[in-house]
Structure 1
């Protein structure tokens, strides 16, 4: 029994031409290209959802800065960086 699953999708002719060009240039099948593209997209989207979830969890736990606090933090970092540069001169 195969471990892979079959998926069907409708692709417009222009995109199919691009897929065929890539497949011919790389010596790969349409199926291989589609599987890699779906895998890449699914991994990227899952990583993004996980990233967002960490942020949402932090907010729910009260671990965040207000806009004003963030602006103060950035300004302090800039001032510290400028002081380091001036001291090095």
Structure 2
């Protein structure tokens, strides 16, 4: 059995109209669509924050390029492609 929690929130009236149209087209309830949207948002935000945490750990370990190094790499690559 899946456990669930009730969450309440406000959305713009225009968004509610779009939500109802989507629910009708998908033959799903408002609640089903909102639950999927929240799940997706939470998952994506958690992944994004985890990637930021990893980036900070990489910086702490010195695993990064400076702006100048990246510009030099880009220029070298650009010159190489222009020569072809």
Structure 2: where are the runs of 5+ without partners?
none
Considering only CA atoms, is the larger Rg found in Structure 1 or Structure 2? 1
Q: CA deviation at 1:49?
A: 0.8
Residue 13 of structure 1 is matched in structure 2 by: 13
Cα deviation 1:49-76 (Å, max 9, x = unaligned):
1111111111111111111111111122
Distance 1:8 1:56 in 2: 35
Q: How does 1:1-89 map to 2 (within 5 A)?
A: 2-83=2-83, 85=84
CA root-mean-square deviation: 1.6
| Structure 1 residue ranges without an equivalent (≥5) | none
Shift of 1:2: 4.5
TM-score (norm 1): 0.81
